[in-house]
A and B are shown apart, each in its own frame.
Chain A
Amino acid sequence: MHLNEDDLVLHYYGEMDGDAETRAASHIAACGACHASYTRLQRVLAAVDAAPAPEPAPGFERIVWARLEPKLRRRRSWGSWLIASPAHLAWAATVLLLVGASFVAGRLYRGVDDRGAASAEQIRERILLVDLGDHLDRSQMILVEIASAGGDDSVDLTFERARAEQLVQDNRLYRQTAMTGVDPRITDLLDDLERVLVEVAAAPAEVPASDLNDVQRRIDARDLVFKLRVLSAELRERQKPGHKTTTM
């Protein structure tokens, strides 16, 4: 009996049991049609083997380390304390949220008063919305600057690098504090944003135009500026009095 395509695949990978494997090998040796089909399969899979493995962009290792190193540093300083108690992690996240709140308490107090007795949860959410909206606006500005830079052989990114470093720290804070019930669009956007900000923060002060083109393409490919603008506008809408606050 001839071997079908699936049998040939199992034989190729040695997935048949002992007797079946022996019979298959014998048949392939004796049958011209199955031998030709098996040879074609071998050549196809050899072509797959010969294709090179996917390669990342130049400078990949530097970017990997720039993203990784702060996590290792945090782990070295917090590690055992956090691992010992998940409750401590939740407490740390709450503290981070309240630290953000202290910068905007004045802006919000009048709004809370006007609405009467807003719950603590609603206040926390509104504070996060304001802070996050500001962060998105600042990030949008730097992305627009990066996207429109260039024209010379090299570009000076000293100022943008410093701003990007701070935005990376802030972005990580917002990713940590935007926890349960968060809109997946926000976390996906913050992830995409962080990748670009880390690249900018890790870049040398003088960047060849060709390297900047890669970052610019990444910004364009993900429509980052547009998404930041849309989300920022939505967050401002949510902050308006009378807008029903729900968990993000």
Chain B
Amino acid sequence: MPHTDAAAVALARDGDSEAFRALVERHSRAVFGLAQRMTGSPQDAEDVVQETFLRAYKQLGRFESRANFGTWVHRIAVNCTIDLIRSRANRETGHEPDDLEQFGAAIEPTDAMGTSPERLMLSSEVQQRVQAAMASLSRMERAAFTLRHFEGESIEEISRALGLKTNAAKHSVFRAVKKMRVALEPFVAVD
């Protein structure tokens, strides 16, 4: 198996399928993580992984050998996920903020969690609540929030990518952050 991505890409361009397999095995997990964050669905994330590496394979000839393959395939994955989300824009699911208010009130933080920020941030309960809060977002809220918070894209870029007006993209991010606050603020007290 080629040691570096650059070596694997060079071999894959010449038709070495095992070299491309090495690239898939190295980067598919990260692509899955990104896609599931954005879509909230493991099945959709698997489809995005397939489509991402198919596109990467088709475009190998255009990949600049000095560039970072992981970054390049990450960008393809973002685009594939956006395409999937836009194609399913009519099937929105998610909870209204009121639902999450009730959800947030149902579980009280315990003394065992302590007040140290590091302990709070690493606690498994906080992680579960993050995942639950992400799952409660609508498809657009999740996509917009993931692109803003994890991918560092501007509101303007998000609105173009998702086919939304700027204000709609902005409010998707606002609603997502509000839901995160409702779910997590009781657990991240200010000292």
State the CA gap A71–B43 with chains docked (Å): 19
In chain B, residues 1-59, which have Cβ atoms closer than 8 Å to a Cβ of chain A?
Answer: 15, 17, 20-21, 24-25, 28-30, 32-34, 36-37, 42-43, 45-46, 49-50, 53-54, 57-58
Could you tell me the dominant secondary structure of chain B's interface residues?
A: helix
Q: Do residues A55 and B21 form an inter-chain contact, with CB atoms below 8 A?
A: no
Query: Does chain B have a CB within 8 A of A30?
Result: no
User: B24 touches which one: A40, A52, A64, A73 (CB < 8 A)?
Assistant: A64
The answer for the CA separation of A15 and B144 in the assembled complex, in Å, is 14
Q: Considering the chains assembled together, what is the distance between the CA atoms of A51 and B37 in angstroms? A: 11
Query: Could you say which of B49, B173, B177, B190 contacts A43, with CB atoms under 8 Å apart?
Result: B190
Given A9-B173, A48-B180, the answer on whether A39 and B24 have CB atoms closer than 8 Å is no
A71 cross-chain contacts in B, Cβ below 8 A = 50, 54
CB distance from A93 to the nearest CB of B (A): 19
State the majority secondary structure of interface residues on A. Answer: helix
Other A-B pairs beyond A54-B37, A55-B29, A56-B32, 15, CB < 8 Å = A5-B174, A6-B174, A10-B170, A13-B149, A44-B188, A50-B122, A50-B126, A55-B33, A56-B29, A56-B36, A56-B45, A61-B25, A71-B54, A72-B17, A76-B15
Query: B: which residues have CB within 8 A of A?
Result: 15, 17, 20-21, 24-25, 28-30, 32-34, 36-37, 42-43, 45-46, 49-50, 53-54, 57-58, 117, 120-122, 126-127, 130-131, 148-149, 154-155, 170, 173-174, 177-178, 180-181, 184-185, 187-188, 190
